[in-house]
Amino acid sequence: MPKHQIRETFSRAMSDMYKKEVPLYGELLDIVRDINREHLEAHPDLEEEVGSLDRVSEERHGAIRLGKPEELATMSRLFGVMGMVPVGYYDLSVANLPVHSTAFRPVEEDELAKNPFRVFTSLLRTDLLDDETRQQAIDSLADREIFTPGAIELININERQGGLTADQADAFIREALETFRWHSEARVPLDQYEKFLKSSGLVADIASFKGPHINHLTPRVLDIQKLHRRMQDMGIETIPEVQGPPSGWPILLQQTSFRALVEKTHFPDDKGGYVEGRHRARFGEIEQRHTALKPEGMAIYDRLIAKAKQYGNDLKKEGEEVYRKEYPGMLAELFEKEFPAKTNDELRRQDLGYFVYEKTKKGQQHPEAIQAEQNGQSNHQLMETLIRKGLVKATPVTYEDFLPVSAAGIFKSNLDEKSGLIESGEASDRALLEEALGDTVADYHDLYRRQEEQSIRSIL
């Protein structure tokens, strides 16, 4: 069975499971599909860039949190069955969260077009915890097994025979889903859970439960500001702001979410029974994806977001209502003044974003006209010349990855109000994550650059 088909079937099965576990997620999917339909009807030319309504509305990314290096190593093999590899290194310790992360996704252009399912995968960094919490977390996780024997057997078969048959793939999906299912029975007593929570909500979420339940499953929307407003109009409690760039800038990634649910949880007591408690971790995230930025563009973006965060912290002191009202305008004003491009054409002309190029009908009919322009210009200058002459057209490369500041912001907005935070870390450790993976993490800039260069080569 082709890997993209296994990936698509697994993504749908996970979505169906999550709908049953979190009914509000099902409502969210209906709202997203309505907004996407309205947007594509109003902008029919967009379909060539983003795909059909079905293609966009089926797109998902999930998020999980793992506790042990060996869990990450096996998870990498599990995602490998579906043609997903680790891309990007994200250090969330800089935002006072004791995890670092990567994202598993397909990387080839045709595979992304068929199904771009992604899973943002975080690993607990026990080295950032205080001595007592570290030992308690290690002890709690020591004998945890998050994969079924059937899943392990099918991962081994996949590696031996280079893939799975249709029947094996169906069995793999059933077995693999068990890893991501919500279990309301905790592994630790309530007092231990509360100690973990005091250290960090992420420690409590990772070290207290039987497995890495999906924390969110994110659909892609084509107008996130409209969705954010519609959720609020429906009385759905959202995070205060849309995370990422301001409305109107077609760059990178914007995200919002409804607040994490408070779920009944059963904690073991010392009499062989359970006591009831609560846990807050699973929420409904939505994203809108835009143009991938080159390192120069990303550096400007990061600088402005850091500045906006400082202003935002001042606004928060005046209360959440003030922050909700003032932050979007402040962010837009900052980008208006300091981000040098507001359209895809400007991003391309200033060489701040990634684009793929192809010949127009005129370019196909007159290859000699393209040949005549190849006179020592850089590839970027040459593409601009060919675009002006109507011989080539450019399409922005969609940002397929994540933003650590946005991820951290949404994680924090959805933590239990009693959750503690670790001291801000300064020890980014990609090598530690790669050692746990047993693999290197791909650099998404290399992937986007290769995509752009390949399209230019095909023209030349």
Residue type, 158: N
Any residues with CB less than 8 A from the CB of 370 and at least 6 apart, and which? 359, 363, 386, 391, 392, 459, 460
pLDDT the model gives residue 66 = 97
Residue bearing tokens 């002006």: 388
Q: Which two tokens stand for residue 55?
A: 């293609």
SS3 content of the chain, % helix, strand, coil (to 5): 55, 15, 30
Residue 438 main-chain phi, psi, to 5 deg: 70, 30
pLDDT the model gives residue 234 = 86
Predicted confidence pLDDT, tens digits, the chain (460 residues): 999 999 999 999 999 999 888 888 888 888 898 999 898 888 888 777 776 777 777 778 899 999 999 999 999 999 999 999 999 999 888 888 899 999 999 999 899 888 899 999 999 999 999 999 999 999 999 999 999 999 999 999 999 999 999 999 999 999 999 999 999 999 999 999 999 999 998 999 999 999 999 988 888 899 999 998 898 888 888 888 888 999 999 999 999 888 777 889 999 998 889 999 999 878 778 899 999 999 999 999 999 998 998 888 888 888 888 888 899 999 999 999 999 999 999 999 999 999 999 999 999 999 999 999 888 789 999 999 999 999 999 999 999 999 877 676 667 666 666 767 777 656 678 999 999 999 999 999 999 999 999 999 999 9
Residue 89's nearest CA partner among 446, 385, 441, 456 is 441
Cα 299 from chain centre: 20
pLDDT the model gives residue 93 = 85
Angle between helix axes 295-316 and 404-413 (nearest 10 degrees) is 30
pTM of the model: 0.91
pLDDT the model gives residue 253 = 93
Tally of residues, the chain: 460
> Are the CB atoms for 270 and 189 separated by under 8 Å?
yes
Coil, helix or strand at residue 350 = coil
Could you state, in order of their start, the residue ranges of all structural domains in the chain? 3-292+397-459, 293-350, 355-395
E-strand spans in 42-107? 60-66, 85-91, 99-105
Cα angle, residue 309 at apex, residues 308 and 312 outer, rounded to 5°: 85
Calpha distance 44→40 (Å, rounded): 5
Calpha distance 121→125 (Å, rounded): 13
Beta bridge partners of 61: 118, 218
Q: Which two tokens stand for residue 192?
A: 């231990």
CATH topology of domain 3-292+397-459: 2,3-Dihydroxybiphenyl 1,2-Dioxygenase; domain 1 (3.10.180)
First to last CA, the chain: 36
